[in-house]
Amino acid sequence: MTKQTRRKFTAEFKAKVALEAIKNQKTLAELSQHFEVNAVMISKWKTDFLTNMAVVFQKESSISDTSDSVDVEKLYAQIGQLKVENDFLKKKLQETGDMNYRKELINPKHPVLSVFYLTVI
């Protein structure tokens, strides 16, 4: 006995089925047989489509104002944090000296300063 998983339908498929149901060219039974979906689901998708179709004609700014303002604030906060971290790292990089000195610190053959030597001890 195999366990049957639920089918997941994309929004495009639901819209297509709901649009066909709104056209009333076929009965719900014919549509459910054609799309292999239960008639109750088609009826639910149709009512959802009819109740939410006004959203398509709303101005875009009124829909996305609240979500955009929160996202922009988070992004500005992250930018500020990254700038502080970047400045800190630049300062620490200048304090460590030139590139040759830093390379010498990780040189495995250096007997005193080597990171490799210190891990062996």
Alpha helices, DSSP H only, in the chain? 11-23, 28-35, 39-52, 60-96, 99-105, 115-120
Q: Which residues contact 52 (CB under 8 A, 6 or more apart)?
A: none
pLDDT value for 113? 60
pLDDT along the chain (121 residues), means of 10: 81 91 91 92 92 80 60 88 93 80 72 60 56
Q: Would you state the structure tokens that stand for residue 97, as one six-digit string?
A: 């000296």
pLDDT value for 38? 92
